[in-house]
Amino acid sequence: MEHQSEPAAGQAAAAAEKPVLSLVIAVLNEAENIEAVTVDCLSQLAGISPLEIVFVDDGSTDATAQVILGLAEIGRAHV
């Protein structure tokens, strides 16, 4: 039986930081709704950690991008 080596410390740390779940949310002109959707998703997924939410903006012409940036500033999104 072959012995498998332990991952290097750097690899283990990188693996620990990877999200357990990635939630992808497509948005188009959702500035009025995106914060509530984000809060709702986070509450429903409480206990899953680490978690990432990926927003895919399909060319919004409203303030969707600014709202997502605002969520990032308070730690609810990573841009």
pLDDT digits over 44-56, tens only? 999 888 888 889 9
Between 8-17, 39-48, 63-72, the lowest mean confidence (pLDDT) is in 8-17
pLDDT digits (tens, 9 = 90+) for 18-66: 878 899 999 999 999 999 999 999 899 998 888 888 899 999 999 999 9
Give the Cα separation of 35 and 9 in Å (integer). 37
For residue 45, being part of any structural domain is answered with yes
Q: Which residues pair with 52 in a beta bridge?
A: 22
Residue 9 lies in a domain: no
Count of structural domains within the chain = 1
Q: Which residue range is the domain that position 46 belongs to? A: 21-73
Q: For residue 8, is it within any domain?
A: no
What's the 3-state SS for the chain?
A: CCCCCCCCHHHHHHHHHCCCEEEEEEECCCCCCHHHHHHHHHHHCCCCCCEEEEEEECCCCCCHHHHHHHHHHCCCCCC
- Determine the pLDDT at residue 31: 98
